[in-house]
């Protein structure tokens, strides 16, 4: 069982009314529609409870005097009642749709907004399919249930009370006989609703796994095809869908058995009314009253059945509600301190950043920084170095040594667990997170582009940028000629995730996007590793020009890209094992010199292979 199955199993208790009060509180913007829904429910319940008595009066009046003015008025009232009920049902549908759509929109908006603030560690532990299931499936389940729960709670509860009152008003003794079906109806509903709840949980749990499997399969389709694992992947998916079929069939059988049993008990009520009422017809009970009681007996099980079903759906939806509320309540591990929040609430003076601090960054200093993704398994230990404005610092070393973690801590994607990172002497946790990250330009090893055009993706770095500024950024990184060579130039659609472009093209556009943002700190994490040697050389000149006057962090396996760095740090097993310029480190004949020799050998082999292929 994986972590997400265990998470599902946590949601198996009884109804949590405190949770549902919080969920219902989110419906306050729609209180006018809810009030109308409740009012319409009361009206329909009152009419439903009156109709059997009205039917009885119609029968008695027809038997007593034939067609009369009184019978005409009763008939018109009977017809008008159905017109009102029809109009109310239409209004139910309109109001319920308005409330459900509004709630779904609000939940998804707030959930998406919350996810934008959460720390990277949150996403490290949760697959995409799981998150999509929360915002789509769970939200749809809760939002779709809420208006109809209000309707049935008001309509069903009121109809039961009105019906009991009407029967007691007509004949107390016969009413007690009809009401004798209530205990077995309630007992049957309790037993079956528990069974239905259990099977519903299994259906929901399996559906959540299928959603996650879908997302993972789509994201990894190229890998699956490349490794010829289509059949194995299909078998794994069929295991999940087979379980879904099994649980769904069980739930359908339980539902199919429950409804006939409820109808049968309702029929017993009708039989009791007919039996006891028939015996009393000769004692003065009117035929109309007998018919009314038979209708009440037939009517009585409907609200009980509907209410039992709604409460079952409420229990079934509780896990969804808990997951939604948990997401909305999740606080980012990396967030502004109270002091920073207080500073942000005050207007900043001229020449100050939004948090009242210096608007520029002159120095960055790592002081005894330590960090671990998993407790007890440190990734960084005692990292110390200083970098100043205009300097480029290069991080090199074996994969998994901690290079990317260093820049992730600087960007506050995570926060150090030991030591501190200081910006001009101030702990960077005491500066605004938004201010810091808006001064970063990050180019990752695997560039991500959004659906849209090339121009849209470059402008994503600064939305107010002009067309000329977008093109200038592209020229500075050597991307302009490549973009102009595309089918529609800057208007070329890149596809989902940039799938219509090569990795090198996506990287150039990502570089242009970062340059357009005009950051104080430039981070390049293996940014040129996806480019061939010739393209890399073209880009490197533009990148070096873009780095002028900025603090730059460059992570690279190709050591040819960092020769001119002001400081090179060799990171191995979370520690800085060597530091200095390229010339100084080569003279040491240590770890860096070994890496340099390996890089040159790899470059020579790569050139030979290209020459042979050409």
Residue 529, exposed/middle/buried by CB under 10 A (0-12, 13-18, 19+)?
middle
Residue 349 lies in a domain: no
Q: Is residue 60 part of a domain?
A: yes
* 453 and 310 share one domain: no
Name the domain boundary from 502, 518, 534.
Answer: 518
Residue 26 lies in a domain: yes
pLDDT of residue 14: 59
Q: Is 303 in the same domain as 242?
A: yes
**CB environment 481-515: b (16+ within 10 A), e (fewer):** ebbeebeeebebebeeebeebeebbbbbbbbbbbb
**Whether residue 560 sits in one domain with residue 414:** yes
**How many whole angstroms from its chain centre is CA 345?**
29
Task: Please indicate, yes or no, whether residues 155 and 186 belong to a single structural domain of this protein.
Answer: yes
Task: Provide the 3-class DSSP secondary structure of residue 355.
Answer: coil
From 554, 557, 559, select the one nearest 596 (Cα to Cα): 559
Q: Within 118-127, where are the H helices?
A: 120-124
Q: Are 265 and 299 in contact (CB under 8 A)?
A: no
Same domain, 397 and 511: no
Across the beta sheet with 426-427, what order do the strands follow?
380-388, 363-371, 418-423, 426-427
Structural domains counted in the chain: 3
Give the residue from 518, 543, 568 where a domain finishes: 518
The answer to whether the CB of 402 falls within 8 A of the CB of 379 is yes
Domain shared by 463 and 576, yes or no: no
| Distances 236 to 4, 5, 232, 247 between C-alpha atoms, Å | 17, 16, 6, 17
Would you state the pLDDT for residue 530? 59
Q: Are residues 228 and 146 in the same domain?
A: yes
- What was the pLDDT predicted at 406? 93
Question: What pLDDT sits at residue 330?
Answer: 81
CATH of the domain at 190: 1.20.1560.10
Judgement on whether residues 510 and 535 belong to the same structural domain of the protein: no
Could you tell me if residue 554 is inside a domain? yes
Is 492 inside any structural domain? yes
Helices and strands counted in the chain (H then E): 22, 10
In the three-class reduction of DSSP (H, G, I as helix; E, B as strand; rest coil), residue 351 is classed as coil
Boundary residue ending a domain (461, 496, 518)? 518
The residue count for the chain: 614
32-to-21, 22, 23, 140, 314 alpha-carbon distances in Å: 18, 18, 17, 22, 23
What count of other Cβ atoms lies within 10 Å of the Cβ of residue 309? 21
List the domain range (segments joined by +) for residue 227.
17-329
Q: Does the residue 614 lie in any domain? A: no
Tokens in use for 148?
């109809």
Domain of residue 472, CATH code: 3.40.50.300
The bridge status of strand 551-555 relative to strand 521-525 is parallel
Coil, helix or strand for 567? strand
Q: Spell out, as residue ranges, where the chain has pLDDT lower than 50.
A: 1-12, 609
CA atoms of 413 and 392, how far apart (whole Å): 21
Q: Report yes or no: 164 and 283 within 8 Å, Cβ to Cβ.
A: no
Question: Are both 130 and 260 inside the same structural domain?
Answer: yes
The answer to whether residue 352 is domain-embedded is no
The full DSSP string for 279-348 is HHGGGT--HHHHHHHHHHHHHHHHHHHHHHHHHHHHHHHHHHHHHHHHHHHPPPSS---HHHHHHHTSPP
The upper half-sphere exposure of residue 381, i.e. CA atoms within 13 Å in the direction of its Cβ, equals 9
Helix, strand, or coil (residue 426): strand
Q: Give the pLDDT of residue 541.
A: 64
Residue recorded with tokens 């003015």: 69
How far, in whole angstroms, is CA 483 from its chain's centroid?
A: 35
C-beta of residue 471 within 8 angstroms of C-beta of residue 480: yes
SS (H, E, C) 357-375: CCCCCCEEEEEEEEECCEC
pLDDT at 388: 92
Q: Are residues 309 and 393 in the same domain?
A: no
The verdict on 112 and 163 lying in the same domain is yes
Considering the domain architecture, whether residues 264 and 189 belong to the same structural domain is answered as: yes
Are 146 and 266 in contact, with CB atoms under 8 Å apart? no
Per-residue tokens: 187? 């007992």
Question: Would you say residue 348 lies in a domain?
Answer: no
């Amino acid at each position: 069982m994986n972590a997400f199955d265990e998470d599902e199993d946590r949601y198996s208790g009884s109804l949590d009314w405190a949770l549902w009060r919080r969920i219902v509180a989110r419906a306050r913007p729609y209180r006018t529609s809810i009030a109308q829904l409740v009012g319409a429910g009361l009206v329909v319940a009152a009419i439903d409870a009156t109709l059997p008595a009205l039917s009885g009066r119609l029968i008695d009046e027809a038997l007593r005097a034939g067609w009369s003015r009184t019978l005409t008025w009763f008939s018109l009232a009977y017809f008008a009642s159905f017109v009102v009920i029809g109009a109310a049902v239409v209004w139910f549908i309109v109001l319920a749709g308005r409330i459900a759509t509004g709630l779904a929109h609000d939940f998804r908006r707030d959930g998406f907004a919350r996810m934008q603030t959460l720390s990277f560690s949150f996403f490290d532990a949760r697959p995409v399919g799981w998150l999509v299931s929360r915002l789509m499936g769970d939200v749809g389940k809760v939002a779709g249930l809420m208006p109809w729960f209000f309707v049935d709670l008001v309509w069903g509860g009121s109809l039961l009370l009105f019906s009991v009152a009407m029967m007691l008003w007509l004949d107390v003794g016969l009413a007690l006989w009809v009401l004798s079906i209530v205990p077995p109806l309630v007992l049957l509903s309790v037993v079956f609703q528990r069974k239905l709840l259990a099977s519903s949980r299994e259906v929901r749990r399996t559906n959540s796994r299928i959603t996650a499997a879908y997302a993972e399969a789509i994201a990894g389709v190229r890998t699956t095809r490349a490794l010829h694992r289509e059949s194995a992947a299909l078998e794994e998916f069929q295991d999940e869908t087979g379980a879904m079929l099994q649980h769904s069939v069980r739930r359908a059988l339980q539902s199919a058995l429950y409804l006939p049993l409820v109808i049968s008990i309702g029929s017993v009520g009708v039989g009791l009314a007919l039996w006891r009422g028939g015996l009393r017809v000769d004692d003065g009970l009117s035929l109309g009253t007998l018919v009314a009681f038979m209708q009440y007996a037939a009517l009585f099980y409907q609200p009980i059945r509907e209410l039992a079903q709604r409460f079952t759906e409420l229990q079934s939806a509780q896990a969804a509600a808990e997951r939604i509320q948990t997401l909305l309540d999740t606080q980012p591990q990396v967030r502004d301190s109270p002091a920073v929040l207080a500073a942000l609430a005050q207007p900043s003076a001229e020449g100050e950043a939004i948090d009242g601090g210096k608007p520029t960054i002159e120095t960055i200093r790592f002081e005894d920084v330590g960090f671990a993704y998993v407790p007890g398994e440190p990734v960084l230990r005692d990292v110390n170095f200083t970098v100043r404005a205009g300097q480029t610092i290069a991080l090199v070393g074996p994969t998994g040594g901690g290079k990317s973690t260093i820049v992730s801590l600087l960007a506050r994607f995570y926060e150090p667990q030991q030591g501190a990172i200081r910006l001009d002497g101030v702990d960077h946790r005491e500066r605004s997170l938004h201010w810091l990250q808006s001064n970063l330009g990050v180019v990752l090893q695997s560039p991500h582009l959004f659906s849209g055009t090339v121009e849209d993706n470059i402008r994503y770095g600064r939305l107010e940028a002009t067309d000329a500024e977008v093109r200038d950024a592209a020229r500075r990184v050597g991307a302009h000629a490549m973009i102009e060579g595309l089918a529609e130039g800057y208007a070329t659609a890149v596809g989902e995730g940039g799938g219509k472009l090569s990795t090198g093209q996506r990287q150039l556009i990502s570089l242009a996007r970062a340059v357009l943002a005009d950051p104080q700190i430039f981070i390049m994490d293996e940014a040129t590793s996806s480019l061939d040697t010739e393209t890399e050389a073209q880009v490197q000149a533009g990148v070096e020009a873009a780095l002028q006057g900025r603090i730059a962090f460059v992570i690279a396996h190709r050591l040819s890209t960092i020769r001119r760095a002001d400081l090179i740090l060799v990171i191995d097993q979370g520690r800085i094992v060597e530091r200095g310029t390229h010339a100084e480190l080569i003279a040491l004949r240590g770890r860096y010199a070994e890496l340099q020799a390996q890089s040159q050998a790899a470059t020579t082999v790569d050139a030979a292979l290209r020459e042979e292929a050409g």
